[in-house]
Structure 1
């Protein structure tokens, strides 16, 4: 949590401990209900994207801006950091190893290559646009793997400040939302089959909810392959964060002293891997998987509302111009890479 937002020692009348979190968590709960209601009315709008948008609106409307920056801030920061980690753990319940292997080795190699090229290309583009290394790393992680969830995981592994995740989350949400509107318009001009469009969506759109919203426009066949391709990208979250953690330890290692170094893989990433393994056993009934998916949506939705509520549009416009251009260039690069892979996966 940023030093500038650290709360002073509670004085008389100032809430202590968990009581300080209640206003922000209550605000996140209300926003979640509203996001799910809007999603139910307009299924093409993912609830997670709506959670971010509602957070941004809450931060920038005169009536609620003071609330999100004041009394609600501790709870919103808690949601953005800790509830995000819980959501990442439960995200593993959506990934079955059997479903991934059913794609075939060629598809797995291509998807891995797309993630690697997307990560490297996005990081390079971000640095060319003179974004700070931390921002470039988070943007590359979010764009190449699974959106805000990946950003949260990478931030934890590299011990990046919570406040530094705000801009990358805003960019990945914006570009993922752009994909929902743009990619379906290209199906007919590019003469894509439903399967190719689904594979393209899964290989190039950032967040799982955004993939579903985009692919379902082309029907069940597109949606089926899109989800599996996307979850294969999600599975790469564990090795990517492990490599980042190992690199971070090496770069911070004092002479022969491992004390105080961050773990190579945080516990919540190990939890994600454990949930993938549990899902892959086939032991869990559909009811448990649905309950896990619902709880994951609640945790990630609250986290994304918390992150969105830290975005100040005026500051973003003044400081985020280069970041926006870098994000759009990266979005185009990943779309091209994903389409090339999709054409080879579905032949």
Structure 2
């Protein structure tokens, strides 16, 4: 544990800065700021132009702890994320509405995966990018990478999903000025197409409380898809490697996915007091923020910029696809009788 402390403290500093900047700026969500903070720190410490002896030593001291944060704290944060799924809010969509949102998740995942494959993104990046765009941003990428044993491929998808999700905060309200959507319809669109939960809140609140409530409900259904999608991803990776593959194989049902499901079930019982739920929310934000700082630190900005044309092109096409699917879902939910 002792060798990990410098990196864990560095992650805590990034999270603290993220919360501070969020309080000062308001527009950018904390999770986005944590990814960006980790990426900037990694670039400054590892840039060839700044490879002074002191910086090399600092990088060597904090890198193990930040890597551990990206693995272990990510799993713990995803477990606590299950406490944020409010059964009453999900019930408000009714069964047909939930089915429509889950079908949209499947379409978003398939379209993003196909786009990433067409743009020839390497390794497991197509699957990870698809998880991030279709479910809940960098958290879903981390969960899928952990489930499939391919977290090493997560840095570029995390950078891309953070970029596109941040652009959504500005672009979707701007697009709505031309589309003239009703607040509830706009909220459904945001909930069905924006990636990170914090980005959903930041985008939807521009149209008022009605839009914000509608966006959060739809987004919660997408988050609910995290457990089955991660489990399917783990099963597919295990099957693809086959019995002859060497080394330890990821379990078909990862333990953190089990924990996520148990937290959802616990929230459903109504046993937990408000204070416990608030503590869980704060703990989830702190753990995921530290994990995303660690994953952000692993992003090699030079490699990302070297393949910027291909990777950014894939992300932009996928973002447009998910936004189009989300707009269709918004019209179906707002014009149909799916809300109680």
What is the TM-score of this pair, normalised by structure 1?
0.90
The equivalent residue for 1:332 is 320
Match of 1:131 among 121, 138, 153: 121
Q: Verify the 8 A CA contact 2:85 2:224 in the aligned structure 1.
A: yes
Does the alignment pair 1:168 with 2:157? yes
Q: Verify the 8 A CA contact 2:18 2:33 in the aligned structure 1.
A: yes
Q: Distance in 2 between matches of 1:42 and 1:49?
A: 13
Q: Distance in 2 between matches of 1:316 and 1:188?
A: 33
The equivalent residue for 1:218 is 207
Structure 1 residues 15-40: Cα deviation after superposition (integer angstroms, max 9, x where no partner): xxx12111111111111111111111
Mark the runs of 5 or more structure 1 residues left unpaired by the alignment: 1-17
Does the alignment pair 1:241 with 2:230? yes
RMSD (Å), alpha carbons: 2.0
Q: Distance in 2 between matches of 1:145 and 1:228?
A: 13
Q: Distance in 2 between matches of 1:30 and 1:94?
A: 25
Q: Verify the 8 A CA contact 2:82 2:263 in the aligned structure 1.
A: yes
Does the alignment pair 1:319 with 2:307? yes
Does the alignment pair 1:287 with 2:272? no
Does the alignment pair 1:275 with 2:263? yes
Partner SS for 2:37: helix
| Deviation at residue 261 of structure 1 after TM alignment | 4.3
| Deviation at residue 133 of structure 1 after TM alignment | 4.5
Match of 1:341 among 309, 329, 333: 329
Match of 2:144 among 154, 162, 165: 154
Does the alignment pair 1:46 with 2:29? yes
Partner SS for 1:21: helix
Q: Verify the 8 A CA contact 1:56 1:311 in the aligned structure 2.
A: yes
| Deviation at residue 307 of structure 1 after TM alignment | 1.1
Match of 2:250 among 253, 258, 262: 262
Relative to structure 1, the CA distance from residue 49 to residue 65 in structure 2 (aligned partners, 3 Å threshold; closer, same or farther) is: farther
| Deviation at residue 234 of structure 1 after TM alignment | 0.4
Relative to structure 1, the CA distance from residue 336 to residue 169 in structure 2 (aligned partners, 3 Å threshold; closer, same or farther) is: same
| Deviation at residue 235 of structure 1 after TM alignment | 0.2
The equivalent residue for 2:3 is 20
Partner SS for 1:284: coil
| Deviation at residue 101 of structure 1 after TM alignment | 2.1
The equivalent residue for 2:103 is 113
Q: Distance in 2 between matches of 1:164 and 1:48?
A: 19
The equivalent residue for 1:207 is 196
Q: Distance in 2 between matches of 1:173 and 1:313?
A: 14
Structure 1 residues 294-314: Cα deviation after superposition (integer angstroms, max 9, x where no partner): 000000000111111122322
Match of 2:289 among 298, 301, 305: 301
Give the structure with the larger helix fraction: 2
Q: Verify the 8 A CA contact 1:106 1:345 in the aligned structure 2.
A: no
List aligned pairs for 1:66-77, cutoff 5 A. Answer: 66=56, 69-77=59-67
Partner SS for 2:61: coil
Structure 1 residues 123-144: Cα deviation after superposition (integer angstroms, max 9, x where no partner): 0000100112511010001110
Match of 2:172 among 165, 183, 186: 183
Q: Distance in 1 between matches of 2:304 and 2:154?
A: 13
Match of 1:35 among 18, 32, 49: 18
Number of paired residues?
328
Q: Verify the 8 A CA contact 1:197 1:215 in the aligned structure 2.
A: yes
Structure 1 residues 254-302: Cα deviation after superposition (integer angstroms, max 9, x where no partner): 28x9x95432110000000001111111111111111100000000000
Match of 1:102 among 87, 92, 99: 92
What is the TM-score of this pair, normalised by structure 2?
0.92
Structure 1 residues 163-185: Cα deviation after superposition (integer angstroms, max 9, x where no partner): 31111111111110010111011
Q: Verify the 8 A CA contact 1:249 1:261 in the aligned structure 2.
A: yes
Structure 1 residues 73-100: Cα deviation after superposition (integer angstroms, max 9, x where no partner): 0000001111011110000000123321
Moved more, 180-189 or 308-317: 308-317
